[in-house]
Amino acid sequence: MKVLSAGAVRPGLIKVCEAFRNMNNVDLRVDFATAPAIAKRIAAGELVDIVIAPTDLLEALATTAQVSTNQISLGSIGVGVTVRAGATPPQIATVPAFKRSLLSADCIIYNQASTGIYLDSLFQRLGIAAALESKTTRYPDFAAVLNHVANGYGNQIGFGATTVIIENADKGVAFVGPLPTEIQNYTSYAAALTSNAANRAETFLDYLATPAAKSILKSAGIE
């Protein structure tokens, strides 16, 4: 059984998969990718049984019958701020403080996936996009953001899903906190069977809807 999943849910999904394997003694393989990469891989005809992704992507795939319209919700994840371990954390408690911190930073780092798409629109809305453009670095995924921030210097600010920042706190980065409530963005994630899914794949989809699975996901920050 093969699952193609967005990386933001990785901290909780890995534990859910482990519990499912132990209960069912099945070969369950999970590959993680960004939402844009998932869309390209499914469009290219990659054979997987279940796709876990932002709900808007699943809905788009469902319109072309590439995945089922029946979705199992995993939960929502917000955007967080990260800096190099040991660096002075920026002030982000309020929107004005958040803007000042970004404008005074040496570098802003984020991905080209769901988080990055939202940040682009947020910076436009806050009126600071032009001021940040020359010092912004974008990467395809959070792994590259993590590497940049962990090995960076000076006053650099990174962004990512709160779950993956917290998961990597032992890899040279520190979790500063979530975006201020007024400008926070939550991405909802769900799972759906693909059009060519094996019959047994439905058992994992059913497990994702159980209280046990929901508890594991919640403990990883997927609300």
Q: How does pLDDT run across 93-128, given as a tens digit for each residue?
A: 999 999 999 999 999 999 998 899 999 999 999 999
Residue 149: φ, ψ to 5° = -65, -45
The mean per-residue pLDDT over the stretch 51-62 comes to 96
170/207 same-domain check: no
Domain shared by 96 and 66, yes or no: no
Domain that holds residue 131: 79-183
Percentage of the chain exceeding pLDDT 90: 95
pLDDT for position 48: 97
Asked if 59 and 12 sit in the same domain, the reply is: yes
Residue 50: its pLDDT value, please? 98
Long-range contacts, stretch 35-42, CB < 8 angstroms, 24+ apart: 35/6, 35/113, 35/114, 36/112, 36/113, 37/140, 37/141, 38/4, 38/5, 38/6, 41/4, 42/4, 42/66, 42/67, 42/194
One domain for residues 132 and 153: yes
Arithmetic mean of pLDDT over the chain: 96
Q: Quick one: 128 and 89 in the same domain? A: yes
Residues 84 and 169 in one domain: yes
| 99 and 68 in a common domain | no
**Once rounded to an integer, what is the mean pLDDT over residues 59-66?**
95
Give the residue among 26, 28, 49, 46 at the shortest CA–CA distance from 38.
46
Q: Do 147 and 206 lie in a common domain? A: no
Are residues 170 and 209 both part of a single domain?
no
CATH number assigned to the domain comprising residue 45:
3.40.190.10
Residue 189, pLDDT score: 97
pTM: 0.87
Give the tens place of pLDDT for each residue, 149-206: 999 999 999 999 999 999 999 999 999 999 999 999 999 999 999 999 998 999 999 9
73's enclosing H/E stretch is strand 72-77
